[in-house]
Structure 1
Amino acid sequence: MNVVAIGGGTGLSSLLRGIKHLVPDIITNLSAIVTVSDNGGSSGILREQLNIPAPGDVRNCITALAEDEDILTKIMQYRFEEGEGLKGHSFGNLFLTVLTKITGDFLEAVEITSKILKIKGEIVPSTDKLVHLVAEFSDGNIIEGEVQITEYGKNLKGKIKKIWLKPDNVNAPEKAISKILNADFIILGPGSLYTSIVPNLLIKDIKEAILNSYAYKIYICNVMTQYGETDDFTASDHVKVLNKILTGDENKTILDAIILNTTIPPDELLKKYLKENAEPVVADAGNLSRMGLTVYAEDLLDKGDYVRHNPEKLANVLKNIFEQYLVEK
Structure 2
Amino acid sequence: MQVDKKTVAVLGGGTGMPVLLRGLKHYPIHLSAIVTVADDGGSSGRLRTEMAMPAPGDIRNVIAALAEVEPIMEQFFQHRFQNGNGLMGHTMGNLILAAMTAVTGDFYNGIKEIARVFNVKGRIYPIANQNMFLHAEMLDGEIVSGESKIPLAKKRIKRVFIEPEAVEPLPEAVKAVREADLVVISPGSLYTSTLPNLVVPQIADALREAEGKVVYVCNVMTQAGETDDYSAADHAQAIIDHVGEGCIDKILVHNQDITESMRIKYAEENATPVDYDRERLDLLGMEIIEADIIDDHKRLLRHDNNKVAQLLCSLIDITKTEHDKER
The answer to whether the superposition gives a TM-score over 0.5 is: yes
Q: Does 1:186 align with 2:183?
A: yes
How much identity, in percent, do the aligned residues show?
Answer: 40
Provide TM-score, normalisation by structure 1.
Answer: 0.92
| Residue in 1 that maps onto 2:73 | 72
| Residue in 2 that maps onto 1:319 | 313
State whether residues 67 and 120 of structure 2, in contact with CA within 8 Å, keep that contact through their aligned partners in structure 1.
Answer: yes
Q: Does 1:261 align with 2:254?
A: yes
Partner secondary structure for residue 26 of structure 2 = helix
Q: Which residue identity lines up with residue 152 of structure 1 in the other structure?
A: A
After TM superposition, give the deviation of residue 69 of structure 1 in Å.
4.9
The 4+ residue runs of structure 1 with deviation greater than 6 A are none
Q: Does 1:2 align with 2:7?
A: yes
| Residue in 2 that maps onto 1:309 | 303
Distance 1:261 1:57, change over 3 A: same
- Looking at structure 2, the residues matched to 48 and 285 of structure 1 have their Cα atoms a distance apart, in angstroms, of 44
After TM superposition, give the deviation of residue 304 of structure 1 in Å.
2.0
| Residue in 2 that maps onto 1:12 | 17
After TM superposition, give the deviation of residue 267 of structure 1 in Å.
2.0
- Looking at structure 2, the residues matched to 54 and 190 of structure 1 have their Cα atoms a distance apart, in angstroms, of 19
After TM superposition, give the deviation of residue 324 of structure 1 in Å.
7.8
| Residue in 2 that maps onto 1:89 | 90
* One of 161, 164, 167 as aligned partner of 2:161: 164
- Looking at structure 2, the residues matched to 19 and 119 of structure 1 have their Cα atoms a distance apart, in angstroms, of 13
Q: Which residue identity lines up with residue 12 of structure 1 in the other structure?
A: M
Query: Mean Cα displacement is larger for which, 142-151 or 267-276?
Result: 267-276
| Residue in 2 that maps onto 1:299 | 292
State whether residues 159 and 242 of structure 2, in contact with CA within 8 Å, keep that contact through their aligned partners in structure 1.
Answer: no
How many residues were matched structurally? 313
After TM superposition, give the deviation of residue 178 of structure 1 in Å.
1.6
- Looking at structure 2, the residues matched to 73 and 161 of structure 1 have their Cα atoms a distance apart, in angstroms, of 38
After TM superposition, give the deviation of residue 285 of structure 1 in Å.
2.2
- Looking at structure 2, the residues matched to 11 and 58 of structure 1 have their Cα atoms a distance apart, in angstroms, of 13
After TM superposition, give the deviation of residue 45 of structure 1 in Å.
0.9
Q: By percentage of residues, which structure has more helix?
A: 1
State whether residues 300 and 309 of structure 1, in contact with CA within 8 Å, keep that contact through their aligned partners in structure 2.
Answer: yes
* One of 228, 236, 241 as aligned partner of 2:225: 228
After TM superposition, give the deviation of residue 278 of structure 1 in Å.
0.4
Unaligned runs of at least 5 residues, structure 1: none
After TM superposition, give the deviation of residue 254 of structure 1 in Å.
2.7
Q: RMSD of the alignment, in Å?
A: 1.4
Q: Which residue identity lines up with residue 255 of structure 1 in the other structure?
A: I
Partner secondary structure for residue 186 of structure 1 = strand
After TM superposition, give the deviation of residue 103 of structure 1 in Å.
1.0
Q: Which residue identity lines up with residue 314 of structure 1 in the other structure?
A: V
Q: Does 1:57 align with 2:58?
A: yes
* One of 173, 176, 186 as aligned partner of 1:176: 173
- Looking at structure 1, the residues matched to 93 and 45 of structure 2 have their Cα atoms a distance apart, in angstroms, of 14
- Looking at structure 2, the residues matched to 255 and 204 of structure 1 have their Cα atoms a distance apart, in angstroms, of 16
- Looking at structure 2, the residues matched to 33 and 123 of structure 1 have their Cα atoms a distance apart, in angstroms, of 6
Deviation sequence 1:89-148 (CA, Å, 0-9, x none): 110000000000111100001000111111110110000111110111112211100011
| Residue in 1 that maps onto 2:138 | 137
State whether residues 182 and 213 of structure 2, in contact with CA within 8 Å, keep that contact through their aligned partners in structure 1.
Answer: yes
Partner secondary structure for residue 215 of structure 2 = strand
| Residue in 1 that maps onto 2:121 | 120
| Residue in 1 that maps onto 2:195 | 198
Deviation sequence 1:70-106 (CA, Å, 0-9, x none): 3222211111112121111110000000000111100
Partner secondary structure for residue 251 of structure 2 = strand
Partner secondary structure for residue 146 of structure 1 = coil
- Looking at structure 1, the residues matched to 86 and 178 of structure 2 have their Cα atoms a distance apart, in angstroms, of 43
Deviation sequence 1:269-302 (CA, Å, 0-9, x none): 2101112110000011232123221111111112
Query: Mean Cα displacement is larger for which, 90-99 or 166-175?
Result: 166-175
Query: Mean Cα displacement is larger for which, 119-128 or 314-323?
Result: 314-323
Partner secondary structure for residue 87 of structure 1 = coil
